[in-house]
Amino acid sequence: MNATQNKRVAQRSMGRILLEFLGSMNLAITLLVALSIASVIGTVLQQNQAYTGYLSEFGPFWFEVFEHLGLYDIYGTAWFWAILAFLLVSTSVCVYRNAPGMLRDMRQYRLNVQEKSLRNFHNVREWRFEGSADDTLKQIQPILKLEGYKARLKDHGDHLVLAAKKGAFNRMGYLLTHVSIVVICIGAALDANIGLKFQLATGQKVIETRDIMATEVPDQSFLDTDNSAFRGSVYISEGGTSRIAFIGVKEGYLVQRLPFLIELKEFRTEHYPSGQPKSFESDLVIHDPEREEPLETTIAVNHPLVYKGYAIYQADFRDGGSELDLRAWGLFDGGSSEVEGKVNQSYNLSTPLGDYVLEVEDFRLFNIDQAPEGHPSGKERLNYGPSFSYKLRDAQGQANEYNTFMQPMIFDGRNFFLTGVRTEVGGPMRFLHFPADDKLSLDRFMNFREAMTDEARVRRIVTTQMMNMARSVGVDEETQAKAANSIITAVQRFVRGGYDAVSEGLSADDPELEQRVQAMLNVLVAVFRAIYVDVLEQEGIDTSQGISDAQIQFFDDSLNAMSAIHRYGSPVFLQLQDFKHIEASGLQIARAPWTNLVYLGCLMLIIGVFFMFYIHHKRVWVWMSEQDGQTRVLFAGSGDRDLPAFKADFDALAGRMEKLLKPIK
């Protein structure tokens, strides 16, 4: 053999080895296990979420590790697609190598089988019958036909071979399951838009990461209407329209243009008595230049609209720009003002402590949560009514997040207005409780707070207190003035920083510090009470006979709230007075033209599994030869799986033959 022939033999050997490796079951199982593990991770770990959420959940170190592994978008990583490609190639090679042989095996009856081979079968019987082979054959064939066997006969001269089989479609089960994997992989790859992934990898398309208006997004982040497959989402307010959808990609998004305009005519929700959403639906109008009249339809959860290959699902809902009537109460200067706000809008807010930007972020009509222990309703969960959330951003760009409820809530048998503050993204919300008065309003508390910040009013009340004290103990006017100034300063410190600020200016080394602070607090509480009584009298309440227990409790609750106001981080409290609720429907828009190919693959997989598990391939042979006026019969059979069951069937079939033909003992 010359060198050229040796080279060709080596190439054929290498090609054969490569085909055997790619078509091996070990490789296929390994790839399937790898894909299963990746799919489990992709199911447990929510995909394509905001990176800030992942960072908050896993911390900086593991966030970086998971990001490098691509776990936040497993189905878009190169290694996942590499595994999928290898599985596709491996399965295709397996089909290429084994399909011809299986198809031949389905058609062939193996009529040239040798007597010696039949005797080596596990299931074999041998008899002798009186009469010719033709007579014996005529009696055996109906038995096999009755059992569902298809038979072929071949005359070899000195003997006859009757070969029969049933369940040949079992082989089709193996082929269908393997081909189905190829079909599903191809369909999934096409619907996963490999072309877009290539454009992103080569820089032809750029992911937008900024939170900007769609009109400001550059063209490189837009996808045209000829994009073959995508899944995006968009929120449309009632009365609003959209001809785009946003596709979340890694830490940003792409904008998909649509060939038609979607208008949200009306959004409706139904709620359970508790306030939890029961169902929601949207009345849509599709404006398509190719239609003479707009298409009007209603979609609901699990009832999408499919139009021109685009599936529009009812996926979510949120606030669509509700109009809010707010009252801004000054917490450090008193007074209040009316503010009109709209969700998703920003407003400039001037306060004595500086200028702020009010960013109204959300409005919720219902808030369902656990009921406090001992709540008079006796319910486990309550609807706490409307609330709105917002941010106050100072001149340096620092912002706190606030969440304020419109209606008062009952705690320990008393009504409070709740407002929460969060200083860190994703951090805990700390709530401040403002006591509600007899009319379930904030007026009394805010009047009390305003009186505490009114220096002239405080001075008048403190001076009156000191004069009454001077008449009883004989203190001179100079001492009265010094004491009054000291008390007024302490009141101002309390207003600015709560009880913690009262001890400011006192020496920490003073051995009598604790006694001095306690004495100052006792005096302050008396002054606060006098201011509170003055507020009650201003409301027209007669306090000549003292104040009630409920009014005393309100006083204590007010001081507790005022002592914590400095931690609130805002110069104003925004109270929600009225609103016009406007909702936005969350639509998911998907285009998957190759979905039917995936469905076809799934159908093939189901049929293939059915064939493999419920159709058993069985073969039997009847080898006959005549000798001395008798017919010698050798009956043998084999099954591809469930051998004990096949042995029982074979024995039963052989028993029926013996009973009919009555062999010679």
Q: Is residue 204 included in any domain, yes or no? A: yes
What rounded mean pLDDT belongs to the chain?
86
| Residue 375 is assigned to a structural domain of this protein | no
| Spatial strand order in the sheet of 572-580 | 336-342, 323-330, 572-580
Could you tell me if 298 and 312 lie in one domain? yes
For residue 38, what pLDDT is reported?
85
pTM: 0.65
267 and 311 part of one domain? yes
**Is 340 among the domain residues?**
no
DSSP-derived secondary structure for 138-164: HHHHHHHHHTT-EEEEEE-SS-EEEEE
**Residue range 468-472: mean pLDDT, rounded:** 62
List, for residues 155-174, the tens digit of each pLDDT value: 998 899 999 999 888 888 88
311 and 238, same structural domain?
yes
SS3 per-residue string spanning 229-253: CEEEEEEEECCCEEEEEEEEECCEE
Q: At 655, phi and psi to the nearest 5? A: -65, -40
Is the same domain home to 524 and 557? yes
pLDDT digits (tens, 9 = 90+) for 495-534: 888 888 877 655 455 556 577 677 778 888 889 999 999 9
CA distances to 81, 124, 140 from 201, rounded to whole Å, are 14, 64, 69
Together in a domain, 237 and 153: no
- Has residue 502 been placed in a domain? yes
Same structural domain for residues 456 and 492? yes
What pLDDT, on a 0 to 100 scale, did the predictor assign at position 9? 47
Domain with 130 in it: 109-167+616-661
253 and 207 Cβ atoms separated by less than 8 Å: yes
Q: Report the pLDDT value the prediction gives residue 474, as an integer from 0 to 100.
A: 57
At position 241, the amino acid (one-letter code) is T
Q: What is the pLDDT of residue 490?
A: 86
Query: What is the residue type of 383?
Result: N
Q: Do residues 331 and 568 make contact, with C-beta atoms less than 8 angstroms apart?
A: yes
CB 35 within 8 A of CB 84: yes
Flag whether pLDDT at 461 surpasses 50. yes
Q: State yes or no: pLDDT of 4 exceeds 60.
A: no
What residue has token string 């020496």? 507
Total of domains in the chain? 4
Percentage, residues of the chain above pLDDT 90 = 42
The reply to whether 397 falls in a domain is: no
CA within 13 Å, CB half, 3 = 0
Dihedral sign for Cα atoms in the order 203, 205, 207, 208: positive
| Of 87, 104, 121, the domain-final residue | 104
Looking at the fold, whether 96 and 131 belong to one and the same domain comes out as no
Give residue 233's pLDDT: 93
Beta carbons of 328 and 337 less than 8 angstroms apart: yes
Q: Spell out a b/e string for 69-83, using b for 16 or more CB atoms within 10 Å of the CB, else e.
A: ebbbbbebbeebeeb
Give me the CATH number covering residue 626.
3.30.160.110
* Segment 91-114 mean pLDDT: 87
Alpha-carbon distance of 203 to 253, in angstroms, equals 15
In the block, residue with structure tokens 């093939």:
604
Q: How far apart are CA 162 and CA 116, in angstroms?
A: 16
Cα separation, 285 vs 261, whole angstroms: 8
Same domain, 199 and 239: yes
Q: How far apart are the first and last CA of the chain?
A: 62
Share of the chain above pLDDT 70, in %: 93
> Is residue 357 a part of any domain in this protein?
no
* 565: DSSP letter: G
- Domain end point (choices 104, 124, 150): 104
Distances 639 to 349, 434, 642 between C-alpha atoms, Å: 85, 82, 8
- Amino acid sitting at position 316: D
Residue 331 lies inside a defined structural domain of this protein:
no
Q: Are strands 583-591 and 354-364 parallel, antiparallel or unpaired?
A: unpaired
**Residue where a domain stops, chosen among 104, 131, 149:** 104
Lowest mean pLDDT among 48-57, 418-427, 505-514, 571-580: 505-514
94 and 116 part of one domain: no
| Same domain? 127 vs 201 | no
- Summarised one tens digit per residue, pLDDT across range 378-409 is 777 788 889 999 999 998 889 999 999 999 99
311 and 206 within one domain:
yes
For residues 327 and 46, the model is more confident at 327
Q: Does residue 367 lie within any of the structural domains?
A: no
Torsion sign across C-alpha atoms 124, 125, 131, 137: negative
Residues 216 and 283 both lie in one domain: yes
Least confident of 36-50, 77-91, 295-309: 36-50
